Amino acid sequence: MNVLRIIFFILSSSFGLFALIVYTMVAHIICKKSIYKTSLFFKYFLIGYPMNFFTWLNSFLSMRIPQTTSCNGFMILFLKSIHRTIFLRIFHFAHYFFAGTQYFYSFLVSVDRFCALYFLPNSDWTWVHVVLTIIFLTGSAICGFLICYGNESFYRYNLYSDYFYIDTTMVNLKIVSFLIAGSILFQVRNKIYRVLASYLSLICFVNICFNVYFYRKLKTATMNRHSALSRNLFKVTYCSIFIDGFLTVLSIINWLISDLHFFEETPLAIEIVRILTWIASDILTWSPPFLLLVFCKTIRQPVQKMIPKIIWKPCPSVTPVAVLGFTNGNQNVQHFTQSFIIQ
């Protein structure tokens, strides 16, 4: 079993390096062309590049190396060197913080898509993104303080599956919340993993709702449904719903295992969930550049030109065009959003 884990570790790390190169090439193309800098979608993409890169790096210490190391593994001395140190607390917090930012990144893209469809074309909804970002960062700072201050993070050994994972001495998370409207005081005592898993599941559920709304709006839009515009937008929506749905289910399963100890005596089931978690982490981290390459010719073709011809033959270039046209209610005026580029 340990040999298979090492092989999977090597394969996933190799794919991560390849995806990082592709991500860098796509980000380079976006930075070079000023036409993309006016699009909020591409601004989010550039912000997501360093975020996903550091997420991937941090996952080696928070998930990949510990879950590949057995009790007599060659990395055991390295794990002991950072065991119960302040560095491990930081890595532990960063693991959940980066996971939260990835989900939140997808959420902001969905919000931008929803606002472009729901509000008038001349409406300014930037304040919505600012407020949501402030709320997220404030909540993350509170969680980080609770994890790092007065608690210890350490590597716990899983006897059934023979690997390590990060745990914390903070068994319960006590949250005191005030509802100003009703002046109601209530207390919630939950384990930290339950709180975080619930947050991730909620974000995924909202993203799915936004994407379903987006899909239904496109179906009723007054445009040629057989055009490249319609086909590509539908494909993006399908991919978003699939990824968010898969991650929602996996978040719930991980919560059941970590908090309610489901499958505790079934190592095979836990091993399958662990592998799926790795795959889900890679999908969430590396899907943005690949989706952009698949559905955006104006990005794909410059990237192809950066690849040696012996590996990839470039296609003829095309000119960027506006990307989302639809009729708002019963009005006859079409307006566009720069959230996507379809050629």
CATH number of the CATH domain containing 76 = 1.20.1070.10
Per-residue pLDDT tens digits of the chain, which is 343 residues long: 578 888 999 999 999 999 999 999 999 998 888 777 677 778 888 888 999 999 999 999 988 999 898 888 888 899 999 988 888 888 888 888 887 888 788 788 778 777 777 765 556 667 777 888 888 888 777 777 776 676 788 888 888 778 898 887 765 444 333 333 333 333 333 466 676 677 777 877 887 788 777 777 766 654 544 455 556 666 766 787 778 778 778 877 877 877 777 777 777 887 888 888 888 888 888 988 998 888 888 888 888 888 776 455 555 554 444 444 343 443 433 433 344 443 4
Query: What pLDDT, on a 0 to 100 scale, did the predictor assign at position 174?
Result: 43
Residue 302 neighbours by CB distance under 10 Å: 18
Whether residue 81 is contained in a domain is answered as yes
b/e per residue, 246-274, with b = 16+ CB within 10 A?
A: bbbebbebbbebbeeeebeeebeebbebb
Contact yes or no for 16/75 (Cβ under 8 A) = no
Q: In angstroms, rounded to a whole number, what is the distance separating the alpha carbons of residues 283 and 177?
A: 35
What does residue 234 show for φ and ψ, rounded to 5 degrees? -65, -40
Residue 180 neighbours by CB distance under 10 Å: 6
Whether residue 316 is contained in a domain is answered as yes
Residue-number span of the structural domain to which 256 is assigned: 2-337
Contact yes or no for 113/158 (Cβ under 8 A) = no
Contact yes or no for 65/82 (Cβ under 8 A) = no
Residue type, 65: I
Whether residue 241 is contained in a domain is answered as yes
Q: End-to-end alpha-carbon separation of the chain, Å?
A: 46
Q: In angstroms, rounded to a whole number, what is the distance separating the alpha carbons of residues 233 and 41?
A: 14
What does residue 247 show for φ and ψ, rounded to 5 degrees? -70, -35
Whether residue 285 is contained in a domain is answered as yes
What is the pTM (predicted TM-score) of this model? 0.77
Question: What's the domain count of the chain?
Answer: 1
Query: What pLDDT, on a 0 to 100 scale, did the predictor assign at position 124?
Result: 66
Whether residue 212 is contained in a domain is answered as yes
Long-range contacts, 165-171 (Cβ 8 Å, 24+): 165/63, 165/66, 165/67, 166/62, 166/63, 166/66, 166/88, 166/91, 166/92, 166/95, 168/92, 168/192, 170/146
* Spatial CA neighbour of 193 closest among 163, 177, 171, 165: 171
Q: Residue 138: exposed, middle, or buried by beta-carbon count in 10 A (0-12, 13-18, 19+)? A: exposed
Contact yes or no for 103/203 (Cβ under 8 A) = yes
Whether residue 19 is contained in a domain is answered as yes
Q: In angstroms, rounded to a whole number, what is the distance separating the alpha carbons of residues 58 and 88?
A: 10
Query: What pLDDT, on a 0 to 100 scale, did the predictor assign at position 153?
Result: 84
Report the half-sphere exposure of 256 (CA within 13 A, side-chain side): 12
Query: What pLDDT, on a 0 to 100 scale, did the predictor assign at position 325?
Result: 39
Whether residue 31 is contained in a domain is answered as yes
Whether residue 343 is contained in a domain is answered as no
Query: What pLDDT, on a 0 to 100 scale, did the predictor assign at position 336?
Result: 36
Query: What pLDDT, on a 0 to 100 scale, did the predictor assign at position 211?
Result: 75
